[in-house]
Amino acid sequence: MAEQAKHRELGLTDAEFDLICEKMGRQPNDVELAMFSLLWSEHCAYKHSKKLLATLPTEGPRVVMGPGENAGAVDIGNGHSIAFKVESHNHPSAVEPFQGAATGVGGILRDVIALGARPIAMLDSLRFGEPNTERTRYLVDGVVRGVGHYGNSMGIPTVGGEIEFAAPYESNPLVNAMCVGIARTDEMVRAAAKGIGNKVVLMGALTGRDGIGGASVLASAELDEGDSDKRPTVQIGDPFEESKLLECCQELLREGLLVSLQDLGAAGLTSSAGEMASAGGTGIDIDVSLVPLREADMEPFEIMVSESQERMLGVVEPARVDAVLAVCEKWQTGSAVIGEVTDSGTFRILDGGETVGEVEVEDLVDGCPVYDLDPEPPTEWIYPNDAVLGEDAGPEEAALALLGSPTIASKRWAFEQYDTLVGSRTVIRSGEGDSSVLVIPESQRAIAVAIDGNGRRVGCDPYSGTIGVVLECASNLACVGAEPLGVTNCLNFGNPEKPTVAWQLTESVKGLGDACRALDLPVVGGNVSLYNETPSGPIYPTPVIGMVGEVGDPAKSGGRAWGEGDAIALVGPFDPSLAGSELEKLRGQLGPGLPEVDLGSVAEAIAMVRKAVGAGEIECATDVSDGGIFTALAEMALAAGVGFRCDLTGLMARTECAAEDALFGEGPGGFLLAGSPQTLEALGGHGVPVEMIGSAGGSSLFARAGDLELELEPDEAGRAFESLAGLIEP
């Protein structure tokens, strides 16, 4: 019974413990049990999502590395590749926001470094509760500081991101970080331990007790009222130590001194060494007595599962060990030979020559049972949604409420805390365009990067909502003329053992796959974060999509600011609806259901806008998203300091929508382009709707939809749009 209690404390079920005993032919000792509890956790084994993820498209002509590696990579030309991935650090950030966010950035940086790539940009996708609570303000302050602290301290710009606020994230925030890096394709490495007799070298910081049990105890279970007790499982980060480790790894790979490289993240040495042995089809020996420690009295199981940051594991040919250690010494980063690759197929843990743990690599890494979900749609709306806007509010009041709503309002207060220009690659950064644009002189090209999510709409309809998120990300790239090359994703959901969450996850992954196939986009990697819920309930189902695209000429990538006298066109098969909209949220009227999406028509519109912007025909473009057309027009007007007059009556006639839907309705497939009337009219005739709706000029923000008129002064619109900054101060 004592053993049963111990494995439950570590997150293993009784059936899983029995299976481990069956595979081993005995009960595991403390070292082995700790190792199994981590690699069989949801965080490491993906046991509730692996079958779903296998349905996603992963092949493409530009794919260099796909799922299964530390990060995905796509060919950007001239012998170079772009590596990128997004991962979550949700539960650690709920417990300790600054270090949780900082080490989340550190972890995703090491995933990209492990491929042999140099990180060149960071993006983030953050979710919090409503900003009028003390807890939300505390979390926002810590997370935003943590995100900027780590990457910027290493000289890596934070070039883009998004922040949304809603009650379901109150106790369980989402902190998703995306890293983009560049590598010479022929110098990239895979995380496979090959070569019998090759040595295993641990590089980087000392190993301590921080992060012990994080993957199983913290990341693979729901948070509860005692989550502050889990504070010791949150890692402590040191970006300056990681900066030295980055340069060290770059030199080792450039000199061809490493057979393979793997970062130490969740589950520490257990996952990194075990997964390397599994990928190489080999065995591996690790001697914990050789691991440089921060605390001298650590037990073998603590050393094996510690999640101390800033560490990498390399496989090195014996003849090159001295050269590797010399490079590590040059960069003042710690190093030690701690093990060897074997032909045993066994993961053996030694302590000064004495065996203290021994498991089959296949059992540990690939032996975890994979579960079928029991999906069942909810019978009622399950998320809190208090009204903050009355039913009798007029169009001006509704428009100001939307511009000031925490999800839509300006995030300048956040991104101005970040260094967006360090590294001298940034052409378009946060707030300047729908996507960030970076020059890549190594390939004589440029890339655009974007990250998007919309838990509110996915909560209303996981399938259509997820399609909308993918289309939103591709649309953002199109607005700067970028052709998307690949997708990474972070699937943030509640407890998959509950039927409603299982249904949300199943439908969302189906939508992700269908959208990527329609856009001919491969999914090259990602992350799944489950059990994001507390006693008050689950988060909104929140798939976050990261995308990298190729830009032909960054000088032609436009922004959102139009000029006096520009004509304004609505382009695309936009069919606005208030279902799942931000306005419905403000009214407390969110509920299940979204209109179906015509994927083919929207894909055609995205392609047309991308080509027009890329050819230099359009210098001002944005897609219609949260808050609908009027909100998008207002944001463009505020960016330019130039007002507009627009008439949406034609949209009402084409789509048979109501006036309020035309002004504030949402849905994929809508773009606002500004420029000369002749240029905009020339876009017609390609099967994509193009409707001239007005012009830029003057100072007021005016729109008409049928008999409904709406006019705002720029000062009041600007005050509403900038109002969030005063609410989130801790």
Marked catalytic residue, from 7, 80, 89, 91: 89
Identify whether the C-beta of residue 412 lies closer than 8 Å to the C-beta of residue 725.
yes
Identify whether the C-beta of residue 161 lies closer than 8 Å to the C-beta of residue 144.
no
Query: Per-residue DSSP letters for 375-444?
Result: ----SS--S-----S-TT--HHHHHHHHHHSTTTS--HHHHTTS--STTS-EEE-TTTSSSEEEEEGGGT
Scan for tokens 């609806």, then name that residue.
577
Identify whether the C-beta of residue 607 lies closer than 8 Å to the C-beta of residue 600.
no
Residue 5, classified by CB atoms within 10 Å of its CB into exposed (0-12), middle (13-18) or buried (19+), is exposed
448: its two tokens:
């655009």
Measuring CA to CA, which residue among 217, 238, 243 is closest to residue 229? 217
636: its two tokens:
């463009």
State which H helix or E strand residue 298 sits in: none
* Residues 6+ away with beta carbon under 8 Å from 547: 449, 450, 451, 452, 473, 474, 476, 477, 484, 486, 487, 488, 521
User: Is residue 43 annotated as part of the catalytic site, yes or no?
Assistant: yes
Distance, CA of 70 to CA of 577 (rounded, Å)? 40
Marked catalytic residue, from 7, 43, 48, 91: 43
Scan for tokens 């109002």, then name that residue.
723
For the chain, the distance separating the N- and C-terminal CA atoms, rounded to the nearest angstrom, is 47
117: its two tokens:
């790539």
Residue 134, classified by CB atoms within 10 Å of its CB into exposed (0-12), middle (13-18) or buried (19+), is exposed
527: its two tokens:
């992350």
Hey, what amino acid is at 419?
A: D
Q: How far is CA 623 from CA 459, 628, 665, in A?
A: 22, 10, 13
* Residues 6+ away with beta carbon under 8 Å from 263: 70, 107, 110, 111, 113, 114, 272, 311, 312, 313
Q: DSSP state, 676?
A: -
**Residue 141: alpha-carbon gap to chain centroid:** 20
- HEC profile of 160-180: EEEEEECHHHCCCCEEEEEEE
Identify whether the C-beta of residue 708 lies closer than 8 Å to the C-beta of residue 659.
yes
Residues tagged active-site: 43, 89
